[in-house]
Chains A and B, each alone.
Chain A
Amino acid sequence: MLVEQELIERARSGDADAFNQIVLAYRKRILGTISRHIGRPEDVEDVAQEVFVRLYYSLDQLRTAEVFEPWLYRLTVNASYDYLRRARRRNESRMADLSEQQVMIADSLAGGKQEQDEKQKGQVREFMNALFRHVSEEDRLLLTLKEVEGLSLKELEQVYKVNENALKVRLFRARQRVLKAYNAAVADGKL
């Protein structure tokens, strides 16, 4: 945990300073998690702020400070789902997001090693986004929480409130689809 349990207890009892410290400790991690799921960089901060507002109003429902992190991840997952649902309703496709990213990458390319690194990183992200298009948004979220952010199955169990076996099946299927897409991309010479 990034903060002491005592700090969480203080925030639960309504201490605004304690709540501020929690936000300061977790904001980068939450922004990172959301940015991997949401294509539009301009909306990432908005969703992260919504997560912390929900946290503020739901702290009194937290059973113990020990389950704080899964709780925060659950709020993050739910806020991301809500955003994606709204985005789907607005008929925004990920293709539009990708093109925006590509524009940003293209803008940043002006020569030099740092720019070269950025370009490579952009290509990796683009490639992974293409692979993730073979799974649902929900499975993409689950996969990144497990494989990229390194959450254990026990932690995911608390986040999703489903048993470990169900999660294993979902993860297995999602990995299978991504691997199939990866092999197809390798065979096509896209990698």
Chain B
Amino acid sequence: MNVDDPKLDRLFQLYGKCCPEVEPSANFMPVIWQRIEARRSFSLTFQRVARALATISVGLGLLLAGLNMAGAKRGIIAPTYADALAADHTVEKTYYTEAIRPIPPTDSIFAEYK
């Protein structure tokens, strides 16, 4: 089988001639511009929403950072566990305990029971 068979080329050429010319409708151009505008307005809306979300997130970030700094200055920020331990372990609050040693019964107290 010869793939370069000229009858195949002739058949393709004939097919090309037999395909009808497609005429565009009167609405061809207006519809293209409508679609272009629709896509443009969609992308503009998307951009606006994305920009608004970005602005909101930056604002929230700044607000949280400000609150954090103000809280740190006033010292109302909840300390970490390690900070709390360190703060609690001051000299004033340190007291010593001795092991309780049972006192052996003396004769004076228990004498009558003997």
A residues neighboring B (CB under 8 Å): 20, 23-24, 27-28, 31-32, 34-36, 41, 44-45, 48-50, 52-53, 56-57, 120-122, 124-125, 128, 143-144, 147-149, 172, 175-176, 178-180, 182-183
B24 with A121: CB separation less than 8 A: no
A20-B36 CB under 8 A given contacts A28-B21, A28-B22, A175-B3 = no
Task: Please tell me which one of the listed residues B5, B8, B20, B28 contacts residue A45 in the complex, with CB atoms under 8 A apart.
Answer: B28
Bound together, the chains give a CA A53 to CA B39 distance in angstroms of 9
Enumerate chain A residues within 8 angstroms of B39, measured Cβ to Cβ: 53, 57
For the complex, give the distance between the alpha carbons of A143 and B12 in Å.
9
The SS class assigned to the A binding surface is: helix
Known: A27-B28, A52-B32, A56-B36. A180 touches B1 (CB 8 A): yes
Chain B contact residues, majority secondary structure: helix
Q: Which 3 A-B residue pairs are closest in the complex by CB-CB distance?
A: A147-B12, A31-B22, A121-B18
Inter-chain contacts of A122 with B (CB < 8 A): 18
B32 lies within 8 A of A23 (CB): yes
Q: Is the CB of A125 within 8 A of B18?
A: yes
Nearest-CB residue, chain B, relative to A128: B15
Q: Chain B residues near A36: list those with CB within 8 A.
A: 19
